[in-house]
Every structure is written in structure tokens, then in C-alpha cells.
Amino acid sequence: MVKRFFLGSYFFIAALPLVWLLLTSVKTRTDVIDPSFRVLPTQTVEASPPSFNPTTAGYRDLNEPISGSVHGFLHFLWNSIVIGLLSTIASVALGTSCAYGFSRFDIPGARDWLFFTLSTRFLPPLAVVVPLLVMYRTFDLPNTHIGLILLYTGFNLSLAVWLMKGFIDEIPKAYEEAALVDGYSRWQAFTRIILPQARTGMAVTAVFCLISAWNEFGFAMTLNNARAITVPVYFAGLQGDIQGIPWPRITAGVLVFVAPIVVFTVLVRNHILRGVTFGTVKQ
């Protein structure tokens, strides 16, 4: 009974901001910043508190450029998609082959390498951004998609290697053994036996790499100020807007932006725990 009550009240409190996010996205800006309590959507003309007239304007105007910006939301969303997808593909590819190597061969110092890989995840982006910026300037990479793709690939490799190693370790070695005896080369055994078997693992890894690349802010903001701005940086930049922050559009944008992540996460729901703990915990 106590448990039910505790759980229920936490759920209620935690769900409120999400409900409010939804409501804010269907309000007008005036209603959002109205200090009187407006929570109930209603169709009546001239709604008075606690009601408001819902509108889809936040979604319709989402792509309108805001305060002098040349581009609208879709431009930044496209940047996020290109960077997110390509870095995810690269992380999964490199991570899978690396995990396979660690899983099936004697690599001298394997333990140390694996823990080095994991520890790269703990570095705060702001603590390594200066040398990266200098490096990127040398190779002419800041403000480019490829710059962020490389960075996110490296950043997500720790996750990809650890997750994939767990999944590949679970594939019986007898499969490859048979294939190798039958005259497959190691590469053929990897591509034709292991990769199909590791499909689930690769999907899970891809989802979690995508989430972190999709939502990343520190590097995206500091290495870019022109051509490859992603959605989180775009929204965060609206903070000091002199015309007032366009809340309905931002909240609508937040919901549009998180939608694909929610869909992908639901697809790999049985492996969420594994994903968020780098495969150190298995469900």
C-alpha cells in the first residue's frame, strides 16, 4: 500500500513535466507566459483561465527562421540526421570489428585496451576541446559535418566496443570453428557467420550511439558556429532571443526531435539496461 502510494506519487510528479511539455506545444506564446493557470484545452472562444485555446501553430511555424536566422528548424534537423546517422554507422562498424578482435583473439594487453576504451567516455568534452579545436583548425574541420561525425564516432566507440563485445561473446565459437574448418577465411567467417548472428547487438548499439550523438551539446556548440549546427545547439541558442523565446515552437521541436529516439528505444526495449550501462549489466 505504501509502495503503491510512493510509486504513484513519483510517477505523477515525474510525468507532469512531460504533460506540460505537450500542453506548451499546443499553446500560443501569450498563453505560455500567462501567469494565470492555464491547463485545460478548450474550444470555446476567448477561453479564460484555467482554460486555453489549443493551436497547432507551434508545429506549423516550426520551420520559420527565428530572429534573423537564415535557416529554419528543418535545416538543423537535417544536420542532426546526417551527423547522427553517419557517426552511428561508423561507430557500429568500427566497434563491431574491434569487439570481434577482442572477443576471439589474444590481443596483448587486451584488458588494458578495453579499459582504456571505456575510460575515454569519462572525459568531459570541455576538457579536451581545446586541442581538438587546434587539430581541427589544422585539418580545416571545424564547422563541418565530417568534423562532428569523426568526433562522435570516437566518442561512441567505447560504448560500441563494450556492448558489441558482450553480444559477440555470447555467440558460440563452434559456429565459426565449423566455418573455418570448411575453408572460410577469417574475414568470411566474420561477415557471414558473426555479423548475421550479431544483428540484435548491432541494432541495440546503433540505437544507443544514435541517442548520444543526437543529443550531444558540448562539442557541437564549441566546434561549430556556422555550417553544421545541430538541433540542440540551435535551440539552446534561442535563449537570449530579444523577441522572447518562442516556447510553443521550441516545445513542439523538442517533441518532434525526441520522437525518433523514442521509437528506436521502444524497438530495443529489452536491451535498454544493457545499453545504458555499456553492457556491464545484462538483463
Partner 1 sequence: MTAYGEGAIIRAARNDVLGRDGKYGWPQSDCWNSTLIPHENDHLKYAFVGPALLLLIALNIFPLFYSLFLSFTNAELSGGAATFVGTANYSTVFSTPRFATAMRTTATFVCLAVAIEVSLGYALALCFRAPFRGKSVMLAVLLVPMMLSPAVVGLYWNVILNGNYGILNQILGALGAGQPQWLTDPDLKLYSLLLIDVWMWTPFAMLISLAGLNAIPGHLYEAAQIDRASRWTVFRRITLPLSFPLVALAALFRTTDALKLFDQVMAVTGPNDEATQTLSALLYQVIFRNYKMGQGSAYAMVVLVIVIALSTIFVRHIQTFQTRHGRAA
Site for partner 1 in 173-212 (CB under 8 A): 173, 177, 180-181, 183, 185-186, 190, 211
Give the helix, strand, coil percentages of the chain, each rounded to 5.
70, 0, 30
**What is the closest distance, in whole angstroms, from the C-beta atom of residue 199 to partner 1 in the complex?**
19
- Is 140 a residue that touches partner 1 (CB under 8 A)? no
Helices in 27-72 by DSSP H: which ranges?
A: 29-32, 57-60
Residues within window 91-110 making contact with partner 1, judged by CB under 8 A: 94-95, 97-98, 100-102, 104-108, 110
Nearer to partner 1, 26 or 98 (CB): 98
Do residues 251 and 55 make contact, with C-beta atoms less than 8 angstroms apart? no
Which of residues 43, 46, 122, 226 is near partner 1 by CB under 8 A? 122
How far, rounded to the nearest angstrom, does the alpha carbon of residue 278 sit from its chain's CA centroid? 15
Do residues 85 and 145 make contact, with C-beta atoms less than 8 angstroms apart? no
Let me know if 160 is exposed, middle or buried by CB neighbors in 10 A (0-12, 13-18, 19+): buried
- Is 52 a residue that touches partner 1 (CB under 8 A)? no
Q: Which of the stretches 56-64, 141-149, 197-205, 248-256 binds partner 1 when contact is defined by CB under 8 A?
A: 248-256
- Is 136 a residue that touches partner 1 (CB under 8 A)? no
Which of residues 26, 209, 250, 252 is near partner 1 by CB under 8 A? 250
- The contact mask relative to partner 1 for 141-180 (x = CB under 8 A, - = no) is ---------xx-xxx-xx--x----x--xx--x---x--x
- Is 81 a residue that touches partner 1 (CB under 8 A)? no
How far, rounded to the nearest angstrom, does the alpha carbon of residue 226 sit from its chain's CA centroid? 21
Kindly state the number of chain residues that form the binding site for partner 1, as judged by CB under 8 A. 110
Alpha-carbon gap, residue 247 to 257, rounded angstroms: 15
Let me know if 149 is exposed, middle or buried by CB neighbors in 10 A (0-12, 13-18, 19+): buried
**What is the closest distance, in whole angstroms, from the C-beta atom of residue 184 to partner 1 in the complex?**
9
Nearer to partner 1, 53 or 258 (CB): 258
Residues within window 8-27 making contact with partner 1, judged by CB under 8 A: 10-11, 14-18, 20-21, 24
- Is 88 a residue that touches partner 1 (CB under 8 A)? no
- Can you point out the beta strands (E) in the chain? 40-41, 51-52
Residue of 213, 199, 216, 208 whose CA lies nearest to 264? 208
